[in-house]
């Protein structure tokens, strides 16, 4: 990597950091989760989770974060878009190596949490998103396939008060170890 390329990256990150300081009611971009290093074989990439309070395509939906990555093995760094995260908070980013006959490979998982408050429920919803890691021509690529079904047990796992039944719900999958344990049970 050239010094000029490194300088550009530093300027970009410094600019993003100052954007986060701006007024919260204005549309802005900042960091939702610290960057992580994804590894597959000899290839590495920096993964960025940029907080975004812009409305999605004018539909009024809060996006939450946009996921980007930059391969560290590339001669010239290029920031590549992966997908969006619709949540208020990313509470964990972790990796899991699948080693079963039906499934092989390494994936990155993003565990999210959002507050949920309505006439039927008061509490939080936890969800896990899978991002595939693929090595092509010595470069790591991070991909999300929106049409692939995410694991149902790990989607909208509720914790809080069910106001209709007057019962307390406890989510079993609200940290990375619990999710990894669930994956091991699928083998």
The two beta strands, 89-99 and 80-85, are: unpaired
pLDDT for 147: 78
Q: What is the pLDDT of residue 113?
A: 96
pLDDT (0 to 100) of residue 57: 52
Note the pLDDT of residue 53.
Answer: 66
Predicted confidence at residue 28, as pLDDT, reads 58
Residue 22: per-residue pLDDT: 41
What average pLDDT values come out for the chain (187 residues) when binned by 10 residues? 44 46 52 90 92 60 81 81 92 93 89 94 96 90 87 94 94 97 90
pLDDT at 165: 92
């Amino acid at each position: 990597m050239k010094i000029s390329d490194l300088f550009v990256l530093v300027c970009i990150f410094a600019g993003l950091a100052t954007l986060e300081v701006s007024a919260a009611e204005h549309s802005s971009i900042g960091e939702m989760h610290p960057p992580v290093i994804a590894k597959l074989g000899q290839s590495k990439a920096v993964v960025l989770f940029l907080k975004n309070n812009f409305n999605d395509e004018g539909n009024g939906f809060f996006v939450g974060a946009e996921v980007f990555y930059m391969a560290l093995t590339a001669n010239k760094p290029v920031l590549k878009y992966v997908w969006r995260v619709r949540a208020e908070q990313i509470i964990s980013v972790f990796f899991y190596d699948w080693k079963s006959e039906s499934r092989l490979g390494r994936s990155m998982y993003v565990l999210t949490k959002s507050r949920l408050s309505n006439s039927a429920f008061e509490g939080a919803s936890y969800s896990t998103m899978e991002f595939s890691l693929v090595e092509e021509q010595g470069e790591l690529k991070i991909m999300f396939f929106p049409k692939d079904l995410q694991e149902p047990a790990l989607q909208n796992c509720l914790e809080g008060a069910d106001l209709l039944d007057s019962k307390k719900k406890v989510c079993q999958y609200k940290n990375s170890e619990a999710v990894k344990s669930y994956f091991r049970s699928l083998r």
